[in-house]
Structure 1
Amino acid sequence: MTQRIAIATSAGYAELHPDERPLLDALRAAGLDPVVEVWTDPSVTWSAYDAVLLRTVWDYFLRYAEFTEWLALLDKSGVPVLNDTEQVRWNSDKQYLLELREKGVAIVPSQVAAGACLREVVAGLTGQEIVIKPTVSGNALHTVRALAGSPELDQALAELPDLVYLVQPFLPEIQSAGEWSLLFFDGEFSHAVVKRPAAGDYRVQESYGGQVIPTDPPADVLATAQAALSASGPTPLYARVDGVVVNGRFLLMEIELIEPYLFLPQSPTAATHLATALATALATRLTSKTS
């Protein structure tokens, strides 16, 4: 019997992002029946599906409480979720970076600050160019780059919402060399890109004018990214590992296990690779249930 897969998306991409649509054909070719569903639609019966694949739920951080309640609903329904809801919860707050640092993963130097502590942390960095970003966020929302101790940063701090933040040094290598994104499906490397910001900017997202360049990673970058992924826990179905090379060393910026953009247009085999991994995972799960 063909297994029906709910492809969870956000209302803004109710028919899935155009770059993700080749995945639907790849899933069908793998013998699955994909159906795109909006994750906030209360009429969806998630338990009617054999699995839920999180894809373009790109508004989850804007509706974080609702999102965590939805994950609890999926857990209660018993439907398999990919990636696993426990991993998704862990990955939804960038404070996981500090956990990975404790496991020996080289990360971009980071401090966590909440509320009034944010100003205290920033005060200790006077004269340094820094980046402040919420631990739960996306697409550079509420992200600030400025010189610590400057009037510009003081004004920006006054306008930031009361959230928990990461405070990091600004790395000029992002502007000069770019930010790496390495894609893994079922733990196996698929493809990589380098993202470069527009001239004068530091944000690599295409919505801010950033460019994406398909690139084969050097062996040391690939090995370090693979090690960081391994340290994050059980092998996920899909993962994107982002980082920057500083003084010849790959520093982890984040591991995306929730709804990462997968750069499918940059790799002609990526959609098939992911679809095959999903079909294999579901077949393995079905076999274990019946044995």
Structure 2
Amino acid sequence: MHIGFLACPETMPSAGTRRGDAFEHDLQMAALRPAIEGRRGTLTEIEWRSPREAFAGVDLVLLGTAWDYQDHAAEFLAALETLEEAGIAVCNPPSLVRWNMDKRYLLDLESKGARIIPTVWANNPGLADIEQALDRFGCETIVVKRQVGAGGLGQHLFSRGSLPADEWTMGRAAMIQPFLPSIKDEGELSFVFIDGRFSHAIRKTAADGEYRIQSLYGGKEAKFTPQPEDISQAASVVAAMPGGAPLYARIDLIRDVAGHLMVMEAEAIEPFLYPVQGPELGESLASAIESRL
């Protein structure tokens, strides 16, 4: 089997200047490549904008580290659909990517029983929207995120004592949520699933003076053993995704002030899967890929 691993210019090893978190690309490749090669397969890194000829002989593509897709959503989706139309298996498939791109998928999960963070959805929020959200949530601090976004990029943190300027606008569709203090205490909890089966869990915490938990901002991660009921809650989110069990998914949860786990993200496009904390990831993913071919 010949597997393509999609990347973006800043994560490709050949890039002159790589993203600060490009080492995560290398970790995933180091986990997956020997597992694929152990099954007499090959694994090739391919920049997702590459012409069709670059995918000659590829049986299946993984969305990998296409971490600039949020700024080129329509182009990215069209590229995946072109590959699928050419008979190449795409994991996860374009239909799921389309659903997962816009964070409004959280509303779909909520309708199926998932607990999500209270959210105000706004096409292009400004100061008035921020003030109204603070009042609506009865909180001191809120987070503004892109509706189509990834990696914590383009986020804003505002409080009653630190509001944006009168003329400020987000410039794009956004989601406004109350800031949950557990992100600094317990951290964000991520549950990795391969073919619908739980693989491993990670606790991600922010650096001092920071609230974002991604490695780009100094975030740290450690393996942890979740309670069975927490795994079950994360698994129910995977089961609620359209199209059946995806090849891979990462469910990010956070506790509210009452101690309930809430869905922060259900990542089915290009999540980092934390192979260091899940040493069996490479073999599990390779086995799942082989079964799909």
TM-score normalised by structure 2 residue count: 0.88
Q: AA paired with 1:179?
A: E
Per the alignment, residue 280 of structure 1 pairs with 291
Identity of aligned residues (%): 34
> Displacement, 1:117?
7.5
- Where is the helix percentage greater, Structure 1 or Structure 2? 1
Q: What is the rounded CA distance, in whole Å, between the counterparts of 1:40 and 1:156 in structure 2?
A: 39
1:242 equivalent in alignment to 2:230: no
Report the count of equivalent residues.
Answer: 277
Per the alignment, residue 260 of structure 1 pairs with 271
Q: AA paired with 1:208?
A: Y
Match of 2:29 among 12, 21, 32: 21
Per the alignment, residue 58 of structure 2 pairs with 49
Per the alignment, residue 6 of structure 2 pairs with 8
Q: AA paired with 1:269?
A: E
Q: Structure 1, unaligned stretches of length 5 or more?
A: 283-291
TM-score normalised by structure 1 residue count: 0.89
Q: What is the rounded CA distance, in whole Å, between the counterparts of 1:211 and 1:49 in structure 2?
A: 35
Q: What is the rounded CA distance, in whole Å, between the counterparts of 1:235 and 1:45 in structure 2?
A: 28
Match of 1:35 among 44, 56, 73: 44
Match of 1:62 among 71, 76, 100: 71
Q: AA paired with 1:11?
A: P
> Displacement, 1:69?
2.1
Partner SS, residue 153 of structure 1: coil
Any conservation in 1 of the 2:126–2:169 contact (CA below 8 Å)?
no
User: What whole-Å deviation, never above 9, does each CA across 1:172-223 have from its counterpart, x for those lacking one?
Assistant: 0110111001100001111111001112221111111111011011112111
CA 1:157–1:110 in 2, change beyond 3 Å: closer, same or farther? farther
Any conservation in 1 of the 2:133–2:176 contact (CA below 8 Å)?
no
Q: What is the rounded CA distance, in whole Å, between the counterparts of 1:96 and 1:48 in structure 2?
A: 34
Q: AA paired with 1:97?
A: L
Q: AA paired with 1:4?
A: H
Q: What is the rounded CA distance, in whole Å, between the counterparts of 1:5 and 1:165 in structure 2?
A: 35
Any conservation in 1 of the 2:3–2:41 contact (CA below 8 Å)?
yes
User: What whole-Å deviation, never above 9, does each CA across 1:105-140 have from its counterpart, x for those lacking one?
Assistant: 011111211125783464253362111101111121
Per the alignment, residue 163 of structure 2 pairs with 153
Match of 1:73 among 79, 82, 99: 82
Any conservation in 1 of the 2:77–2:94 contact (CA below 8 Å)?
no
